[in-house]
A and B are shown apart, each in its own frame.
Chain A
Amino acid sequence: MTSNRFFLHVSASIALALAASAASAANIAAGKEKASTICAGCHGADGVTSVDPSYPKLAGQYPDYLARALTEYKSGSRKNPIMAGMAAALTKEDIANISAYYASLPSPLTFKKR
């Protein structure tokens, strides 16, 4: 009985830990779903082929930079009427997921040697 209770306790802890890590880690699949409805219309389904040359390529960009950009659009510290509207609808979790999704895509972005 004691060992059973101990086992229950351990497995409950593991389940909680897994749930917590799943919540904090970005979910690329969820990001893809959001991105396809919100972002792809302008930035392209591939995150490269945007509808306007003045829109940035997102594919392969660092997720923390993308998340920061979206957070700044949402707060209004970075001003853009279109992006403000898009970011306003996103939760912190959405931002993490979308950023992780775009970061995971094949990218034309590189580094200059000098």
Chain B
Amino acid sequence: MLNSLSFNTGGDMLNAFKQFGFRQSVAVAITAVGVACSAPGFAQGAAKAAAKGAGAAAPAEIVGNAQAGAKKNSACIGCHGIPEYRTAFPVTYRVPKIAGQSEKYLESALKAYRSGERPHPSMKGIATTLTDQDIADLSAFYAAKN
């Protein structure tokens, strides 16, 4: 649509030059330039508005930092840092090994605990203290080897 607009504007300018001579065509050209400039301007505005709408649903991507995650894991090591550690509630089973696990999975697990979608009293208690950045950092830390 933008392409056809500028094409038409160019065509108009050519016709105007032919019909009215140089002075008039300069005026037409100035108008055309104005239209040409404002058209992308309008398009940019619309794109910004669209981005704003999309931004509300998906905020800027957060990148996990494994080194930062290493300083945030004090609540994790009491259970996940001990081989064979068992939970006491509600049913006894060994807490999962998380080091070396997929980063995306760890992130979705922590978010599901935080929202309550995945029910677990102690994991919910811990996850609710974490920001999206904390979760990304911890996931990067635990996903990394060593």
Contacts and interface: CB of A to CB of B under 8 A. Distances in A.
Given A57-B100, A68-B93, A112 B105 contact: no
Main secondary structure of the interface of A (DSSP, over half): loop
Interface string B114-146: 000111000000000000000000000110011
Interface in A36-63: 50, 52-57, 60-62
A62 B97 contact: yes
B118 to A, nearest CB: 6
B61 to A, nearest CB: 15
A79 B117 contact: yes
Contacts of A65: 93-96
B102 A112 contact: no
Interface residues of B, number: 30
B94 A109 contact: no
Interface string B54-97: 00000000000000001001000100110100000001011111
Nearest to B119: A77
B93 A64 contact: yes
B104 interface: yes
B99 A57 contact: no
A53 B105 contact: yes
B95 A56 contact: no
B91 A68 contact: yes
A95 to B, nearest CB: 12
A78 interface: yes
Contacts of A21: none
Contact of A61 (B77, B80, B96): B96
A114 interface: yes
Interface of B: 70, 73, 77, 80-81, 83, 91, 93-105, 107-109, 117-119, 141-142, 145-146
Interface of A: 50, 52-57, 60-62, 64-65, 67-68, 77-79, 107-112, 114
